[in-house]
């Protein structure tokens, strides 16, 4: 099965999975504690996937493009001229900053709308949805870039991390919109837009990266940069978004607010270590 077929299958599963997960609060109420455990596992997976799968894969892809380029021109490899380490840092930081800026815009918009009075509830919900849609689109970039590497295990781990993060996110979005008092037909519209963001962006990224041919050196470079950029967004979403939200919610089971319960800490560690275990013995 080639990369494009796998990507289409992953995208369809992601679309339906996100939509179904988000539809659950419309039918049954879920305990906050269980939802938190899934959120923490998702955050752990994002961190583990970014650090042990996406960053090494992106670095390897960039190094491959650089060394091929120099061998192709019959040059000796000049290590002091190697731009790859610099590119790695720049791509990661840009991904992190991109998410930071998007978040701050969403937060300030929400604040402006809320101060404008209760009659603008619809705008608040659109701001919340838009913030999540941009996050989901960045997830799509990671999956689309992973698909161009033709490494099935890399694709699977990235897909798993995204799904386990997207399910609680779509669940949380719908719970928030219900709390905001939106009618169910509009909630479903918001949910559909959120569910579509990552699959559409994954396919667009894949098509853009493979436009010049899969073996093209520019494609390798672009894939590496796209993966490292999305690793930066993964790290932002996990460390600045999900984990602080979880730790700031007071625990009803007598634990002190502002820290993890034992179960949450275990879930976080499992999530972070899982991608590492899945890539053991992975050879290029």
Q: 254: pLDDT confidence band, cut at 50, 70 and 90?
A: very low
Q: Do 61 and 230 form a contact (C-beta atoms < 8 A)?
A: no
Q: Which of 14-18, 34-38, 124-128, 254-258 has the lowest mean pLDDT?
A: 254-258
The tens digit of pLDDT for each residue in 204-213 reads: 988 888 876 6
First vs last C-alpha separation in the chain? 18
The helix (run of H) or strand (run of E) holding residue 110 is helix 84-115
Residue 158 has pLDDT above 70, yes or no: yes
Residue 251 lies in a domain: no
d(CA 25, CA 204): 31
User: Residue 140 pLDDT > 70, yes or no?
Assistant: yes
pLDDT at 255 over 70: no
Look at residue 27 and tell me whether its pLDDT is greater than 70. Answer: yes
User: Over the stretch 116-136, which tens digit does the pLDDT of each residue have?
Assistant: 655 555 566 677 677 778 878
Q: Which long-range contacts (CB under 8 A, 24 or more apart) does 65-71 make?
A: 65/217, 65/218, 65/220, 65/221, 65/224, 66/221, 68/217, 68/220, 69/217
Instruction: Give me the pLDDT at residue 75, please.
Output: 53
More confident residue, 126 or 9: 9
Residue 90 has a pLDDT of 93
Residue 213: inside a domain, yes or no?
yes
Q: Is residue 230 part of a domain?
A: yes
DSSP string, 153-201: HHHHHHHHHHHHHHHHHHHHHHHHHHHTT--HHHHHHHHHHHHHHHHHH
Who's near 61: CB < 8 A, 6+ residues apart?
A: 149, 220, 221, 223, 224, 227
132 falls within a domain: yes
For residues 38 and 185, the model is more confident at 185
How far apart CA 30 and CA 39 sit, in angstroms, is 13
- Which one has a higher pLDDT value, 105 or 95? 95
Number of domains in the chain: 1
pLDDT band at 34 (very low <50, low <70, confident <90, very high): confident
Q: Is the pTM of this model over 0.85?
A: no
110, 205 contact by CB (below 8 A): no
d(C-alpha 192, C-alpha 188), whole Å: 6
* Structural domain of 7: 3-72+83-246+256-277
Contact 37, 166 (CB under 8 A): no
Q: What is the pLDDT of residue 283?
A: 47
pLDDT at position 62 = 86
The most confident of 38-42, 43-47, 175-179, 189-193, by mean pLDDT: 189-193
Q: How many residues in the chain?
A: 284
Residue 98 has pLDDT above 60, yes or no: yes
């Amino acid at each position: 099965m080639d990369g494009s077929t796998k990507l289409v299958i992953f995208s369809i599963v992601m679309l339906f999975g996100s939509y179904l997960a988000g539809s659950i609060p419309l039918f049954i109420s879920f305990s906050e504690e269980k939802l938190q455990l899934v959120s923490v596992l998702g955050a752990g997976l994002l961190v583990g996937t970014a650090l042990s799968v996406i960053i090494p894969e992106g670095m390897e892809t960039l190094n491959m493009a650089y060394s091929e380029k120099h061998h192709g021109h019959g040059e000796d490899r000049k290590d002091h001229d190697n731009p790859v380490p610099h590119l790695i840092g720049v791509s990661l930081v840009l991904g992190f900053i991109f998410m930071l800026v998007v978040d701050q815009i969403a937060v300030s918009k929400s604040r402006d709308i809320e101060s404008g009075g209760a009659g603008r509830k619809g705008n608040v919900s659109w701001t919340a949805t838009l913030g999540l849609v941009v996050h989901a689109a960045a997830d799509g970039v990671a999956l689309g870039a992973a698909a161009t590497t033709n490494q099935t295990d890399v694709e699977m781990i990235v897909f798993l991390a995204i799904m386990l993060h997207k399910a609680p996110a779509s669940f949380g979005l719908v719970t928030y919109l219900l709390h905001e008092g939106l009618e169910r037909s509009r909630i479903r519209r918001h949910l559909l837009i959120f569910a579509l963001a990552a699959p559409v962006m994954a396919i667009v990224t894949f098509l853009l990266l493979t436009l010049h041919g899969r073996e093209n050196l520019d494609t390798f470079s672009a894939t590496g940069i796209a993966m490292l950029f999305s690793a930066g967004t993964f790290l932002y979403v996990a460390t600045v978004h999900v984990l602080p939200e979880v730790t700031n919610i007071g625990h009803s089971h007598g634990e002190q607010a502002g820290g993890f319960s034992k179960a949450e800490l275990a879930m976080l560690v499992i999530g972070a270590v899982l991608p590492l275990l899945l890539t053991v013995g992975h050879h290029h």
